[in-house]
Amino acid sequence: MSNLSTNMTTTDVGTTTTDVGMTTTDVGTTTTDVGTTTTDVSITTTDVGMTTTDVSMTTIDANIINPAKESAKSKKSRIEPMANLTSSYMKQFLFIDLSNGQIERVPVPELLYDDYIGGKGFGARILYDRLAPGIDALGSDNLLMFMTGPLTGTIAPAMRGCVVTKSPLTGIFLDSYFGGSFSPEIKYAGYDGIIITGRAEKPSWIWIDNEIVEIRSATGLWGMDSLKTNHAIKEELGDDTVKIATIGQAGENGVLFSLICCEYNRQAGRGGAGAVMGSKNLKAVAVRGTRSVKISDYQAFEKAHQKALVELEKSAEVEALRIAGTASAVEYANETGLLPNRNYKNGTFAKASDLADTGQRKHLWLGASACMGCPIRCSKMGAVRLGKYKGIVTDIVEYESAALMGSNLDISDVRAVAHLVKLCDLFGMDSMSTGGVIGFAMEACENGLLKNYSIPESVDLSFGSVKGAEYIIRSIANQDNKLGKLLAKGVKKAAQALGGNAEDFAMHTKGLETPGWGPRGASGMGLAYMTTDRGGCHQRGFPISYEVAGVPWKGKILDPLSPCDKADMVASLQNYSAGTDTLVKCDFGSFGISAATYAEMVSAATGRKISPEIITETGERIWNLVRLFNLREGIDSSKDTLPPRFVREALPDGPASGHSITEKDMLYMKQEYYRVRGWSKDGIPLHDTLKRLRIRHEQNNENESGAA
């Protein structure tokens, strides 16, 4: 790709041998020698027109990460190092400042391992410590972090990757997960995570070849979709096996719900991490790693690994995923009245089976596929064989896409939905948020609110119109008309800009478009949306499994419509979710793998003994820390709420017909939830809660957080 290599000057700054330190870490009563590591730190940078490029590696500034100096620890939750210090952690982050070309490798502070384990935990702590309150999520100061976990790159089943940043869509914390093989490659290159800050002067991409790191010109890539970018970089490198995370045109154009595409078909979808990447003038990150991830106690690890495989085999939910992926959930959601239809007005869709595995098997699927090393193989590869969209190569249409781009828009042709989702993937836009935005726009059109938006007469924006949906997708991605510019901001901001009654049917919580599970038939799901750390999200605990599927919670069958008994369940599920997100596991793996087995695998891999209780406590610590972050960014209790439609309009169909989650229900659940969490009536973590969880927070937030 000669067009990519023009104007490149390679500056070899040589090889320096650096001792990353004999670090003695005080963990209360134990002194831990984390060893001495000699590291080849040869770094190559490519001049892409930066005014200053400091690539010195003679000093490594550990303060870049600003390790948390937690207070004294209780014995209960301390992660005890084992005698053998070999570990699946790589013990360093790669830090890249695109503004000045600074590239450093930074030792991971022991306390980060102790109290935050990995993935979401690392990202949350660093974001809290490093970001000044109120910074522009699309400004150069925001951090974009690709984080791994202690099991990433091992043979532990069903692992994923994790991006953490401040969301431009919601203005609060964002963690977004992706499958595939990009994340293991970060470990194989020698890093526990990549932390990117600053903004490149010109379009750039980062090439990480083990310890060699380059910032290359992406001028020739700018404007390409995610798939073409992936191909072009592989061609430029002459290597088909490198792993690539890239943005499409949406990320370049600042669409607030743009995503990062990892490999061809795995996306860090929610919350706009792609827009953060685009704001940094960063088109892609390509990684090649040839190191191995070491295991502390291989025999114990293999035993735990076998246990995990058996647990997965025994799980009925996992078996269902293996057969039909998430597509099987379409029929379930329809039968239970939770499937969104016509911008969530309804909870059922007469043609649901056309979008479910039945329809997808008939029209799309050719075989199964999986993320690296995953035995569940929940994904499918397929192609549209007949009709207008013939020739499109497609993945499974996941439940959320089928619900939000299909039933929610009154579109039942699964081939058309596959086409719309594929467009989103190529442009690099979250198909969930995009579906929500299109549903909002179609209702706004119905209500006569889009008259000033110069919609061509040939475009029908009513529900059911595939052409209308495609017009909106292209308008948003390309930002070439007034409607696209309005909708690229997401439902919340678009509704505020439109005025009239638009906010009455703007389906979001804290700016994140509502997932494909209407909560009026499951109050606990509503509480989860109200309180989730990244905005309305179904993946930080999924109460529907208990409320609607009838699985007892702590021995009790719950009434799905009642606000009672939901707070403890939701908080517990969130804690466990945040705890296991430090492992960067796939949610579907945790349908089968028990907490005890996760803990055994982590202990054996890292040489740090952890228990299920420590995983959950770590999750609770992270949840509270993220709450402090979000409070600092301006949220308050009034934002812990549901879209008006779920509150004021009773569900017209399905088993929960006639039900809504009233203001009274919301208030009751919210106060119960705050009480269970150890927060004030205003939703602020109390001093005792922070102390119990050993959460350090800045002095100037002590009053705000209730700490004395």
Determine, following the binding rule CB under 6 A, whether residue 371 of this chain makes contact with ligand SF4: yes
Contact call for residues 43 and 213 (beta carbons, < 8 A): yes
Which of residues 304 and 686 has its CB atom nearest to ligand SF4 in the complex? 304
Determine, following the binding rule CB under 6 A, whether residue 586 of this chain makes contact with ligand SF4: yes
CA 462 to chain centre: 31
Determine, following the binding rule CB under 6 A, whether residue 268 of this chain makes contact with ligand SF4: no
Determine, following the binding rule CB under 6 A, whether residue 379 of this chain makes contact with ligand SF4: yes
Minimum distance from residue 395 beta carbon to ligand SF4 (Å)? 10
The radius of gyration of the chain from alpha carbons, rounded to an integer in Å, stands at 24
Strand-pair partners of 46: 10
Contact call for residues 44 and 11 (beta carbons, < 8 A): yes
Contact call for residues 650 and 660 (beta carbons, < 8 A): yes
Q: What is the DSSP string of 2-16?
A: GGGSTT-EEEE----
d(CA 526, CA 522): 7
Cβ–Cβ contacts within 10 Å for residue 392, how many?
A: 17
Determine, following the binding rule CB under 6 A, whether residue 370 of this chain makes contact with ligand SF4: yes
556 burial type by CB count under 10 A (0-12 exposed, 13-18 middle, 19+ buried): exposed
Minimum distance from residue 602 beta carbon to ligand SF4 (Å)? 17
Determine, following the binding rule CB under 6 A, whether residue 377 of this chain makes contact with ligand SF4: yes
Determine, following the binding rule CB under 6 A, whether residue 471 of this chain makes contact with ligand SF4: no
Q: Site for ligand SF4 (CB under 6 A): which residue of 588, 598, 673, 674?
A: 588
- Helix 612-632 and helix 595-606: axis angle, to 10°? 90
Determine, following the binding rule CB under 6 A, whether residue 374 of this chain makes contact with ligand SF4: yes
Q: Which stretch binds ligand SF4 (CB under 6 A): 301-309, 373-381, 426-434, 557-565?
A: 373-381
What does the per-residue mask of binding to ligand SF4 show for 202-241, with x meaning CB under 6 A?
A: ----------------------------------------
Q: Strand, helix or coil at 271? A: coil
Q: What is the DSSP secondary structure assignment for residue 533, as one 8-state letter?
A: B
Which of residues 180 and 428 has its CB atom nearest to ligand SF4 in the complex? 180
Which of residues 369 and 657 has its CB atom nearest to ligand SF4 in the complex? 369
What does the per-residue mask of binding to ligand SF4 show for 315-354, with x meaning CB under 6 A?
A: ----------------------------------------
Determine, following the binding rule CB under 6 A, whether residue 593 of this chain makes contact with ligand SF4: no
Q: Which stretch binds ligand SF4 (CB under 6 A): 237-245, 284-292, 355-363, 375-383?
A: 375-383
Determine, following the binding rule CB under 6 A, whether residue 376 of this chain makes contact with ligand SF4: yes
- CA distances (Å), origin 223, targets 165, 228, 283: 24, 10, 9
Cβ–Cβ contacts within 10 Å for residue 287, how many?
A: 27
Minimum distance from residue 149 beta carbon to ligand SF4 (Å)? 13
Which of residues 163 and 224 has its CB atom nearest to ligand SF4 in the complex? 163
Which of residues 160 and 492 has its CB atom nearest to ligand SF4 in the complex? 160
Q: Site for ligand SF4 (CB under 6 A): which residue of 103, 378, 397, 416?
A: 378
Minimum distance from residue 374 beta carbon to ligand SF4 (Å)? 3
Q: What amino acid is encoded at 469 in this protein?
A: A
Give the number of C-alpha atoms closer than 13 A to the C-alpha of residue 1, restricted to the C-beta side: 21
Which of residues 159 and 614 has its CB atom nearest to ligand SF4 in the complex? 159
Which residue in 342, 290, 300, 358 sits closest to 645, CA to CA?
342
Contacts of 182 (CB under 8 A, 6+ apart): 146, 161, 243, 244, 245, 262, 263, 266, 287
Minimum distance from residue 331 beta carbon to ligand SF4 (Å)? 19
Which of residues 249 and 379 has its CB atom nearest to ligand SF4 in the complex? 379
- How many residues are recorded in the chain? 708
Which of residues 366 and 650 has its CB atom nearest to ligand SF4 in the complex? 366
Contact call for residues 215 and 206 (beta carbons, < 8 A): yes
Residue 400 — φ and ψ, nearest 5°?
-60, -40
Q: Which stretch binds ligand SF4 (CB under 6 A): 370-378, 436-444, 556-564, 642-650?
A: 370-378
Q: Strand, helix or coil at 341? A: strand
Residues near ligand SF4 (CB under 6 A), total: 12
Residue ranges in 632-661 that form contacts with ligand SF4 under rule CB under 6 A: none
d(CA 127, CA 132): 9
What does the per-residue mask of binding to ligand SF4 show for 150-189, with x meaning CB under 6 A?
A: --------x-x------------------x----------
Contact call for residues 376 and 322 (beta carbons, < 8 A): yes
Minimum distance from residue 376 beta carbon to ligand SF4 (Å)? 4
By CB under 6 A, name the binding residues for ligand SF4. 158, 160, 179, 370-371, 374, 376-379, 586, 588
